[in-house]
Amino acid sequence: MVNTRITGRRDRRLTPEDLAALRDSIHEQRLFREEQVRQLTAAPPRTDPDPRASAARTEVRTEPAASARMVLADVEAALRRLAEGRYGHCHLCRRPIDRAHLMIVPQARYCARCRQVREVAR
């Protein structure tokens, strides 16, 4: 028991315990993001008499809603990968994603190298 735990720690691949913990955390993340999207897309209060001011406010509100939706889409994609047994592999190069990174960003799609390439390309 102790031995398998030590090997599990040294190994960068995900253990069944890791996967269970990540699944829980992704489910929580989904609930949180769904709620966030609901709140951000709720109709803004119409108390402002100046139409230009309300237009600016709408713009400010739309941006976080869009990024929350993007994260939600990532989270849902991660749940699909978990269900299909493809979780934890880079979407581009198919190499396993670093375990430490998945612990921080459970919905990560890309390995460290592909992430860097994408950021430089942006």
Nearest residue (CB) to Zn ion, 33 versus 88: 88
Nearest to 105 by CA among 88, 80, 85: 88
Between 56 and 93, name the residue whose CB sits nearer to Zn ion.
Answer: 93
93 part of the interface to Zn ion, by CB under 5 A: yes
Q: Where does this chain touch Zn ion (CB under 5 A) — which range of 24-32, 43-51, 65-73, 82-90?
A: 82-90
The 8 Å CB, 24+ separation contacts for 118-122 are none
Q: Look up tokens 């190298």; give the residue.
A: 113
92: contact with Zn ion by CB under 5 A: yes
Contact predicate 73/30, CB 8 Å: no
What residues line the site for Zn ion (CB under 5 A)?
Answer: 90, 92-93, 111, 114
